[in-house]
Amino acid sequence: MPDAALGADALELAGPYRLLAELLSAEPDAELLALAATVPALRPHATQAAAARHTHVFVLNVYPFASVFLDPDGALDGERTALTRGVLGALGLRVAPGLAADHVSVLLDALATLLEREAAARSALDRDRARHAQRVVLLKHLLPWMPLFLAAIERADGALYGAAARLAGGLLSDHVGRLPASSHGSVPTWNAAPRGPAEPPRTERGRRDRLGWLTVPARSGIFLSRSDLAGIAGDLDLALRFGGRGFMVESLVQAASQADRTSELTDALARRVTAQRDEVAAWGRRLPQARPLWAPWLELSAATLARLGRSGTAHPVEAASASPGRGHVTGPPSGGA
């Protein structure tokens, strides 16, 4: 698509972006549902009953924050939250007080706002500036985590939010395709545990914490929601205790061990890893110009499979706690620096 066409249809993307931003930010009211119902992709699910799933999806299962997916500790309100606020501020976008800047709704609304800015541009220079800003938000802050995030929503909800996730995937893909080709000369990357296997965070201790990395996307390459874990437990007929995801993983491992089903659990986890890896790979095939963005996920998921012993080299789940060696005799663990 020639550059000049972008400005003209910028608002065609901006509208649905903003609608999605509102839908994902909180349980929708009747007015918003009515607006959603005007969109064919959402129409069948735009009901109050479907909307009641908001808490289930976004509060209990699929946390809609970049920091959860991209930060090394996978926690809310992480480094990325502050970074994103700074970047948006520098791009001239003010985030409403009380909102985390790395919330998916903020980022989608930011894209909508920048598309409006582009449509309002009076000169080619202003238009280019607006596009540059879109590129930053899109490529650096949103797209890196979208494959895992959107797929997790679809797994957690078959109705309104699943449909919204599919819609978002399409919009983002279109947006990438519409940015001028020169924008793709270099794709910015994010720091996903850039080297070596997905080793546990060094501050973590003990068996339970040593499995915590499985629930940290930037270390494991996958996102496991509570409903994902419940699904695994159900498939294997294992008891599952409810709590934080790290705790739940631990309880699954214990239950599997007691039931002598460790190997089956490992297989089930490996299947999840493989499925999510395939999701990511599909995004790469669809948008080759942005493929480098997702390469870290593929490396991480490969390393995770290796650590699960399901790529033909390493040991089963129990070995996930083994510290990767460096070929040196090492001393006792740090006293904490």
Partner 1 sequence: MSSPDPHERPDAIGDEAAVGAPTGDAPTGARLLAALRGRARRAVTDAGPHYASPEGHRSRFPGPSEIGLDSHPPVESWQDWAEARAHDGTGRGRRYDLVPTLCFNCESACGLLAYVDHDSGAIRKLEGNPLHPGSRGRNCAKGPATHNQITDPDRILYPMKRSGARGEGAWQRVSWDEALDDIAARIRADLRAHQGRHVVYHVGRPGEDGFTSRVLQAWGIDGHNSHTNICSSSARAGYAFWMGIDRPSPDFAEADFILLLSAHLETGHYFNPHAQRIVEAQANGCKVAVFDPRLSNTASRADLWLPSYPGSEAAVLLAVANHLIASGAYDRAFVRRWWNWEAYLRAERPDLDPTFEAFEGVLAELYRDFTFAFAAEESGVPQDRIETLAHLVARAGARFSSYNWRSAGAGNEGGWQVARCLMLLHALTGSIATPGGFWPNTWTKHVAPQPHPAPGPTWWQDLHMPGEYPLAFFEMSFLLPHLLREGRGHIDVYFTRVYNPVWTNPDGFSWLEALTDESKIGCHVALTPTWNESAWFADYVLPMGHSSERHDVQSQETGRHQWIGFRQPVMRAHYERTGRAFRDTRDVNPGEVWEENEFWIELSWRIDPDGSLGIRRYFEAPTRDAPAEDAPPRKMTVDDYYGYLFDHGVPGLPEAAAREGLTPLAYMRRYGAFEVTAEPNARYLEEVPAAQLVDPVTRDGVVYARSGGAGYGPAAEPLPDGRSAVGVDVEGRVLRGWPTPSGKLEFYSPTLSAWGWPEYALPTYIRSHVHKDALAPGEVALLPNFRLPVQIHTRSANSKWLDEIAHTNPLWLHPRRAEALGVRTGDLLRVTTHIGYFVLPAWVTEGIRPDIVACSHHFGRWRLDDEGGGNRTMSSVVGLERSGSTWTLRRRHGVRPFDSSDPDTRRIWWSDVGVHQNIAFEVHPDPVSGQHCWHQAVTVERARPGDRNGDVWVDTQKAHDSYRSWLAKTRPALRHSPDGTRRPRWLPRPLHPSAEAYRLPDDGSPRERVAETDDA
Residues 187-216 that bind partner 1 (CB under 8 A): 188, 191, 193-195, 201-202
- Round to whole Å and give the CA distance between 242 and 61: 12
- Minimal distance, residue 321 CB to partner 1, in Å: 17
**Which of 147/217 has CB closer to partner 1?**
147
Shortest approach of partner 1 to residue 330 CB, angstroms? 5
Residue 105 makes contact with partner 1 by CB under 8 A: yes
CA pair distance 105, 301, nearest whole angstrom: 27
Q: What is the DSSP letter of 162?
A: H
Return the number of other C-beta atoms located less than 10 Å from residue 6's C-beta: 21
**Sole window of 109-117, 209-217, 252-260, 302-310 interacting with partner 1 (rule: CB under 8 A):** 109-117
Q: Which of residues 283-322 bind partner 1 (CB under 8 A)?
A: 283, 285-286
Q: Pick the closer one to partner 1 by CB: 13 or 256.
A: 13
Please count the residues of this chain forming the interface with partner 1, following the rule CB under 8 A: 96
3-state secondary structure of 24: helix
- Binding window for partner 1 (CB under 8 A); candidates: 99-107, 209-217, 240-248, 304-312: 99-107
4 vs 94, beta carbon nearer partner 1: 94
Concatenating the DSSP letter of every residue in 288-336 gives GGGGGGGHHHHHHHHHHHHHTT-SSSS--GGGGGSPPP-SS---SPP--
Q: Answer whether 127's CB lies under 8 Å from 7's CB.
A: yes
Interface of this chain with partner 1, residues 3 to 42, rule: CB under 8 A: 9, 11-16, 18-19, 21-22, 25, 31-32, 35, 38-41
Question: Binding residue for partner 1 (CB under 8 A) from 54, 131, 226, 307?
Answer: 131
Rounded to whole angstroms, the Cα distance separating 34 from 273 reads: 38
Q: Which is nearer to partner 1, 90 or 322 (CB)?
A: 90
> Closest distance between partner 1 and the C-beta of residue 230, in Å?
14
Q: Looking at 4, 30, 49, 125, which residue binds partner 1 (CB under 8 A)?
A: 125
Cα 292 to Cα 22, 285, 288: the distances in Å are: 30, 11, 8
CB-based contacts of 110, cutoff 8 Å, min separation 6: 88, 91, 93, 137
Q: Which amino acid would we find at residue 212?
A: G
Residue list 241-280, contact with partner 1 (CB under 8 A): 275, 278-279
C-beta of 12 vs 237, nearer to partner 1: 12
Q: Exposed/middle/buried for 256, CB within 10 Å: 0-12, 13-18, 19+?
A: buried
- List the one residue from 92, 244, 288, 324 that touches partner 1 (CB under 8 A): 92
Other Cβ atoms within 10 Å of 195 Cβ, number: 6
Choose one: 52-60, 144-152, 251-259, 296-304; the region binding partner 1 (CB under 8 A).
144-152
DSSP state of 76: T
**Which range touches partner 1 (CB under 8 A), out of 117-125, 204-212, 262-270, 306-314?**
117-125
